[in-house]
Amino acid sequence: MRKSTALAALVGMMVAGAVLSASPAEAATLVPFAATYQEQVLFVPCPPGTPPTTVCVHVHGLGEATHLGKSTEVDNAASVDFSTAPCGTVRTPLVTLVAANDDAVTAEALGTVCFTNVPGQNILNGTYTVTGGTGRFAGARGGGTFHGVSQIDLSCFCRATTTFTFKGTLSSPGSNK
């Protein structure tokens, strides 16, 4: 009887320690998250040392997201590495979704972009991980999948328009306070 009581006390202390040591964002409730943006994508010069098979882009999107409402998407560091043909590897180290009041969610994304049989059209798919935020989203966590359909401007090969969606989870806004 004494061993089981000691074991129960030890387990209880371990659980309490894990709960007390969890950051507020880790302890937060995850809620459904979805967003759709109409993006303007500009092809830009890549930083020195970037492989020649890589295309760098800046993205600016307008749309709507759960918990943010009407919002803006900004990504000034995305790249597509086409050395992984037939599909390219999309890397986005920092995506920022900004609400009208300037509270923001930040994320990173990794996926693929594959051309279709429609000239200039490509399909993007992958995953994203919420890495934080500002305002009521400070310390936010979550993640999910993304999907996009993009059309490259074939007159210049310098820009594209994309419809882009995020679906997944986000720590409940304000739950880390």
What are the residue boundaries of the structural domains of the chain, listed by start?
27-171
98 near 65, Cβ under 8 Å? Answer: no
What DSSP string describes 46-97? Answer: PPTT--TTEEEEEEEEEEEETTTEEEEEEEEEEEEEGGGTTSEEEEEEEEEE
Helix H or strand E encompassing 159: strand 159-171
Which band of pLDDT confidence, cut at 50, 70 and 90, is reported for residue 175?
Answer: low
Gap between the Cα atoms of 91 and 102, Å rounded: 25
pLDDT (tens digit per residue) in 77-88: 999 999 998 999
Average pLDDT over residues 10-35: 54
pLDDT of residue 108: 98
Residue 36 in tokens: 């759709």
Residue 104 in tokens: 């923001």
Whole-number percent of the chain with pLDDT over 90: 79
Higher pLDDT residue, 20 or 148? 148
Is the torsion defined by CA of 74, 141, 171, 176 positive or negative? Answer: negative
- The topology under which CATH files domain 27-171 is AOC barrel-like (2.40.350)
